[in-house]
Amino acid sequence: MVISSSHIHSKSKHDVVKISTANKNNLKRFTQNGQIQIYQSSYRGSYPSIIRDSLRNAALGRKVLLIQFMKGGVKQGVENAVRLCGNLTWIRSSHSFDQYNSEETKNNKNLRKSIHESTVELWNFCKKELQSGENDQIILDEIFLAISMKIIDKDDLISTLENRFISGDVILTGTDIPKDLLLMANQITELRS
């Protein structure tokens, strides 16, 4: 079952800015930021519809970036991104281990360090992409798990989202979503079993 709600983000986004230089008035058009959508669930692995929609959007000509923060297994990383439908860039961690297996990570310091480094690499790449304005849609899958594991700083995510330059939507997925991020969302969808 899907329960969805939406509201208008409280910050005003102007798309025309008046620039005065040397007694001339010029109007410069800026692309408005797209919406922030949050998909939350009480359990992991509930987001195949988002991946399906990203493939459909890419096939329709939209440039889509899908980042899976806490999925490994394919030694992909930023340098070995998978490109599908000509428009979908799909990136997972460069680490070969699925990051959420807490029992194994809890007892292995080297594994925790490797997970941390590969997740930070993805986050730094995401920050650049959110500022570039080159994507129509960016999906940050399980970013909230990376926040709860203290790999990504919540305030850094908030600041990056507030200052992003993307005309399309930013989709965030995960469990245990911080309240201040929920308040930023234009749309919140709760996925239930």
Residues 55-73 have pLDDT tens digits of 899 999 999 999 988 876 6
Instruction: Say if 96 falls within a structural domain.
Output: yes
Instruction: Say if 14 falls within a structural domain.
Output: no
Q: List the domain range (segments joined by +) for residue 181.
A: 2-7+33-191
How many Å apart are CA 17 and CA 190, to the nearest integer? 37
Model confidence pLDDT, tens digit, residues 86-105: 899 999 887 766 655 667 77
Model confidence pLDDT, tens digit, residues 134-165: 899 999 998 998 898 899 999 999 999 998 88
Q: What are phi and psi of 160, to 5 degrees?
A: -65, -40
What tokens were used for 161? 């989202």
CATH number at residue 52: 3.40.50.300
Cβ pair 58, 50 in contact under 8 A: no
